[in-house]
Amino acid sequence: MPHADSSLLPDYVKTKRDFWEHVNLQANGLMNDSLSWVTNLANVSSLVYHSLMDFDQFGLQERSPRPIVNWCGFYIDSCLFPPNSTLPTGVEDPNRILTLGPFCGRPACQLIKAKKGGGVCADAYLSRETLVVRDVDAYPGHIACDGDTKSEIVIPIKIQIQDKDTQRTEEIVLGVMDLDSIVLGAFDEEDVNGLEQLVKSVSVSCKW
């Protein structure tokens, strides 16, 4: 199958649960071919965005000038980018920056300070919890990369590492996956489940 066809939805996909099951299967297939986080995040952004375009509940609709989901991509801890290209530590650092990674959609802000109250991505990153924001205008600190965005979901990317000296396992957060929508309350529990599963696969499929 040509790679592009992985983002075409088969007829049996009717519900959000079907949708995320299908997208997760396709993502795992694509990530089988690569350990590079840049490559995998690029293909996962494209897969999710274009699959959403093909899905009635999220894509382009007659009554809407833009797709319901208008942005899908990643912000990654700047430690992972050159010239450092190292894993972040598990220690909270107020100077930490999230850098725009692979995405699909219109251009977005490039750097986000990982400070509490510094936006949805920063808060999800620091709290290590998925954040579903029904109305971004009511969210303190929300960063408006696109004035049309009305709701948002952000999922932290976490991995387990073992400390060389103590041998203790530690969880570190590498960045976040972010989806934006032009309608209020676009994302629900099914999206949380599907996307958390996807982000978990991304975190273990890449060499960071």
Residues in contact with ligand SME by CB under 6 A are 71, 108-109, 112, 119-122, 142-143, 145, 149, 152, 178, 180
**Do the Cβ atoms of 184 and 134 come closer than 8 Å?**
yes
In this complex, which beta carbon is closest to ligand SME, that of residue 108 or of residue 172?
108
Closest distance of CB 169 from ligand SME, Å: 29
In this complex, which beta carbon is closest to ligand SME, that of residue 13 or of residue 145?
145
**In the numeric block, which tokens belong to residue 107?**
């251009």
Using N-to-C axis directions, what is the helix angle for 189-205 and 16-31, rounded to 10°? 10
In this complex, which beta carbon is closest to ligand SME, that of residue 47 or of residue 69?
69
Nearest to 202 by CA among 24, 60, 11: 24
Closest distance of CB 58 from ligand SME, Å: 16
Catalogue the E-assigned strands of 9-149.
69-77, 97-105, 111-113, 131-133
Closest distance of CB 180 from ligand SME, Å: 5
> Which helix (H) or strand (E) element contains residue 111?
strand 111-113
Closest distance of CB 95 from ligand SME, Å: 17
**Do the Cβ atoms of 179 and 195 come closer than 8 Å?**
yes
In this complex, which beta carbon is closest to ligand SME, that of residue 6 or of residue 156?
156
Residue number with the shortest CB distance to ligand SME? 119
